[in-house]
Amino acid sequence: MKFGGTSVADLERIRRVGRLVAAEVATGKQVAVVVSAMSGKTNELVAWTDGAGAAAQGLPPSDDEYDVVVASGEQVTAGLLAMTLRNMGLNARSWMGWQVPIITDDAHGRARIDDIPPENLARAMDAGEIAVIAGFQGVDRQGRIATLGRGGSDTSAVAVAAAVGGACDIYTDVDGVYTTDPRIESKARKLARISYEEMLEMASLGAKVLQTRSVELAMSQHVPLRVLSSFVEPGEAPGQGTIVCDEEEIVEKRIVSGVAYSRDEAKVSLFGLPDTPGVSSKIFGRLADANVNVDMIVQSHARSEGAANMEFTVGKRDAARTVEILRAAQSEIGFEDAQLNEDVAKVSVIGVGMRSHAGVAKTMFTALAEKGVNIQVISTSEIKISVLIDAAYTELAVRALHAAYELDKV
């Protein structure tokens, strides 16, 4: 059972989580619980690191110490929930990432899980203990705390479930996965089932319900995954939420299952690149070395002979650093100019049914054109189409696409 930040935002909500855990234990199941930091706490801790750390001094970041600070939010929640469960007469104990241990690489701030030896947890759970685990964190092979990046508690939960051979229920502030963000489109519908692939695309394209790596891990390890609301009491009908499963388990496959969006986008444009082999390698090799994740990429011929232009997107957090890295290597790469535009958003349509149906792109482009939305960059995969647009048109585009694919209809 995994509970996100809004589910443990204060002591009353932690007590409700305690009641949900107790109800699950009462069915005879062995239970491990993974918790996030209380809502808003991680942002506060990050702000403290910004004020005290390298950014304030103009120095290189101390990512390992950043992790020490921001990982403390989950430690607080784990202790409070374990305390609450004990007060209810249950056998519970908090576990930090290093105690499990959740072993990671040393990419501090965005670490990946290498291994979770299950012996310690299995022994405790076999003895009837409820393991309350601090999410979002692990320990690298040098014994230093490492955090998994935003939303990393989801990944922690799926990884723990895989390690002990269990299923994973993700409790959050919504009661499942919707066709789009209900805050933007009131006609959004809850999906009973969604495939791992569709959920992976939706998570990577901006849907906030699950973190991308958690879905990747669930798919690769065949962990049964379900999204439920934590804002119910035991005995109330929580519904089935949304089950994330293999495509073969979905009988009725819609052409498009959902519309996702992300405002965490920045577009980098390079003009006057030499149109010769190896240029792209120089650009993206440098960004890879700096752990900058690149998403949409488009290259086109420039007006001048033997030159090309290139546009690609990165997360806003990496935007300024990306341009600095490239400008530092401008003479070697050979481009004439670089520009940055952070006033963009990515809107995507996703569905496994795209594999066998024509006309999906036509519907998307027609719907956006009718609303006067200009497309800057297009990216496709087998089950998704993404477009980069002016950020001001995000909500208009989401609603137009939701209607165009009739996602409001059962």
Q: What average pLDDT does the chain have?
A: 91
- Cα–Cα dist 244/231, whole Å: 20
Query: What is the topology classification, in CATH, of domain 2-251?
Result: Carbamate kinase (3.40.1160)
Given CA atoms 120, 125, 130, 136 in this order, what sign does their dihedral have?
Answer: positive
Supply 181's token pair.
């963000």
Percent of the chain beyond pLDDT 90?
74
Residue ranges covered by each domain of the chain: 2-251, 259-404
pLDDT at site 239: 62
* 375-398 pLDDT tens trace: 999 999 889 999 999 999 999 999
Under the banding of pLDDT at 50, 70 and 90, the label for residue 58 is low
Q: For residue 212, what pLDDT band results from cuts at 50, 70 and 90?
A: confident
Report the pLDDT value the prediction gives residue 59, as an integer from 0 to 100.
59
Superfamily in which the 259-404 domain is placed by CATH: VC0802-like (3.30.2130.10)
- pLDDT above 90 for 34: yes
Q: What is the pLDDT of residues 280-331, one digit of tens each?
A: 999 999 999 998 999 999 998 888 888 999 999 999 989 999 999 999 999 9
**CA-CA-CA-CA torsion sign (91, 226, 209, 214):** positive
pTM to 2 decimal places? 0.80
239-254: average pLDDT: 82
Instruction: Work out the pLDDT band at 240, boundaries 50, 70, 90.
Output: confident
Q: Do 388 and 377 touch, CB atoms closer than 8 A? A: yes
Instruction: With a cut of 60, say whether residue 60 has pLDDT above it.
Output: no
The mean pLDDT of 205-218, rounded to a whole number, is: 83
Q: What pLDDT band is residue 55 in, cutting at 50, 70 and 90? A: low
Confidence at residue 254, expressed as pLDDT on a 0 to 100 scale: 81
pLDDT of 53 above 90: no
Is-contact 90 22, C-beta < 8 A? Answer: yes
pLDDT band at 174 (very low <50, low <70, confident <90, very high): confident
Reply yes or no on whether the pLDDT at 61 is more than 80.
no
Per-residue pLDDT at 235 exceeds 80: no
Of the listed ranges 119-133, 189-203, 247-261, the one predicted with least confidence: 247-261
pLDDT at 211: 82
Q: What is the pLDDT of residue 256?
A: 93
Confidence check: pLDDT of 146 > 70: yes
pLDDT of res. 54? 64
Specify the amino acid at residue 288.
A
